Each structure stands twice: as C-alpha cells, then as structure tokens.
A and B are shown apart, each in its own frame.
Chain A
C-alpha cells in the first residue's frame, strides 16, 4: 500500500485458524468429523465478555472483513467501511468476530480441503451446508472464544439470513440481530438466477463433476459466467448506467462479438478475476444454502410463527434500488416480527447502487447503523 493505513482502520490484522475435533452433524444428516474455521477479530473483549459482535459474510465473502493483511495490501477487508474505530461497528467499543464459513474457500474447511477419508480434496463429496449449519458452527466458535451471548449478530444479504437464523436457533445467545439488504427466503426469480450460475459452472468441461482439483484444472469459464450473472443482480440499472452507460472501449462499432462496450469488458474482467480466486464448488454450495434458507418452512410458510422463537431485538434495513432482495422482502421479515410482537426497527434507505448498497457508506445508512450500534454498545456497557 502506497498510502499510510487510515486512522479509522483496524490496521494490519492476522487471521487465526481454530481446529474443531468434535464431529458436527449437519442438516443433511452427514457429519464432518473434524473441521477448521478461519477467524479474524478486531477490538478487545471486555471483562464481562458482553461486547462481542459477530459479523456474518455473504455469498463470496470471507473472514477478512476489516483492516489489511499487510501494509502492501491495496484494498482493505470487504466491510471496512462499517467496521473500525469510530465506524458503525466501532472497534473501540466492540470485540468483533468475523469468520470464513464452513464450506468456504478461504481457509475454513470446504470442498477444496483435503478429505481425511481419501487424502484428496472433498470436491463434490463435501456435504451441502445450510444457513442453520453455519449458525451451529458459529455457536461452537463462540463457545471456544468464551462468548455466551453476542451483543449483536450482524450481516448483509446472506449474512443477514444468518443473523435471523441465530435469533431463532439460539434466542438466548444474542441481544440484537441486524439484517441488512436481506430476505427471509428466496423468490423463484432469486433461485432461477442461482440455477443459471450453477448450470454455468457444472456445464464447463473443466468441471469434471466437481473433481477438477484431481485434473489440475479449474472450471474458469463457468465460474466466470456465474459471477457475471451474479454481479448484474448486485447492481442497479441506474448505477450501471451511470458507471458505463453505452460507452465503447474504442470510438466506433467493430461489427463483431468481442467486448466492445465498457460494461462487457468490466463484467469479463470481474468474472475472470473471480474465477481465479474463488472455488467453484463453494459457489455451488453457497447458492444452494441461499435457496434452502426459509425459517418458515417448518411452520407451513408462516414466518411469524417462526419468529415467535426469537427474543432478541432486530434492526432491518433495505435499499430502495435493491432488486435482488427488494425492500418488500425486508418488509416481509419485519411484518412477521410485528405479528409475533418482537422488537424491530426498520428503515428503507434511498441509495442508487442496488444490492451492493449495503457495502457503500451513504450518509443515512451510516447514521442509522451508527445510532443503532451506539445504543447496543451502551446497553452492554461498552
């Protein structure tokens, strides 16, 4: 990094790996005999262990939520805009825990880890993981860290689903759940986009039924396409219009099919880069976890009955131009909480960036998030 690290950054951080030797039984009824979770923490746990905040990541996220891994890093962690000294999740007051979820590809046990039974990467033999499984593993991590009760569990998108699941599965182990740009269940359109992404990956000739590691190759093409489709759903028509418009890379049409428009070359570049750093099997797993998530499933689709299990307070935020998880999806969640008489606050934030808005610090978003977390901190004496 050419510039010095900003003062409102948590600075240089080092991930830690926690080994778990007790088998974890998953929703699919398979068990992982042993597994690792890679974790970063920011700030200090206070004496009564009441100021811990869990950050849950979204589809392509990982444990590196804030700060830099070295002074040479060009970019900070994925949610550095919201986590740090004086930021909404204020590391001067909170002890922040961020992990790479089970099934991930950034160090926690996942499809690209070695299967102890075969000595080869798990690949397609890695069990399908659900949001509930993640929450279960996060609770085991909390045990390990000596955290009985989170001051808050916080997440955007798929991360918000984990916060919601926490409130239902471990109601006594969190005081607040913050679900930003999230949804209580995917719509048919959401699942359809996931299916296109999965088809792109599995139909790549280099996919080899998920055993590409054994062939020393990667389904780059498929993962790139999956990411391109996904990326479109994270942006809004207006934000793409503002960023690229109909701008051409050269002055004139070339009457061919190469990337001529800026938006084409941007998507290709993003997709190619992603396909080098992300594991295709993890992408399949994450999209399936999204598809399956539906806390109302065991209550005949009645989300308010599910919400009756929760006892924490909720903050739900949506963004006006988010068409992946629209404000209506957040309101569905909020209305179920209202019907179940849970304590919930909700705001729809005007922002032009579509789903990605949860990563971008607009004034109203920052104000609300800061105001709410300030109150959480006061409550736990932080």
Chain B
C-alpha cells in the first residue's frame, strides 16, 4: 500500500511537470512510459521515507479541510502584509519571544502550524521543543495581558490555526 501511494504521487508530479509535451492527449507517449518507470523506481526506494507511520493523510476529508483552510489563511496573510507595511512605515514595534503550547501531537500538524504562524500577522516561529511539541514564537507587537500568566493562551497569538492544523493533520 505504501508503495502504491508513493508511486502514484510521484507519477502525478511527473505528469504535472511534463504536461503539454505532445501527441497522446496532453502528454507524449515517451513521457508517459518514462514517468511510469521512474514512479515505480521511486516507490520501491522511498516508500518508508515518504510515508511515516500511517496512511491517515489519504483521507479525502483532510484534503477538503485543507482546501477550505486556504481561504482564512489567505485572508490572514493579506492582513499580515498590511500590518507589516504599517509597522515598516511607522516603526511601531514591541517584540518578544513567547512560548506557546498548541497541544499538537505529530510532526505534520506542527509543521503546518509553524509555517502558518510565520506567514500570518505579527508572528514568526523561531524554535520548537521536540519533546513537548511547544513552539517559540517571535511576536512583533506584544499584548501585555497575555504575558501575565505562564502557560500562555495561544488564541491572541495565532488565532484558530492550531484547531485547523489538528483537523487537517492531527
């Protein structure tokens, strides 16, 4: 099963890259054959590296959630850029590095969250504690209310992104 999934993903990427090459529909016959050969080879060599412990990412519900997630993500990204433009022009910053615990269990969701944090308003992921899955986030405009209690509330920092990450890859 791991072999089939890896080969299928490899073949689709190859087909995407060679689209528009020729005579048999969108692809030329040679590209289709060479792609299949290399997909089988890649699947045989890389199946344990490409797929971790289980096949939960095959669930179409997760992919659908990911596609829905792109809309609030894009909106947050636009907001982040206007925010940075404002700070570039006025120079008003009040930075800090804060520790948050998003309660995520696996690497995939943590990666997704860290990347989202970096691209959304006012935050940049700096480090991760791999034992406790806690993130250290550089926050450009600190809210003093959040700094008072020690297990920090992550909602003012990264909004609902941890919940999205849990739904997509958790």
Answer yes or no: are A and B bound together in one complex. Answer: no
Give the B-binding residues of A (Cβ under 8 A): none
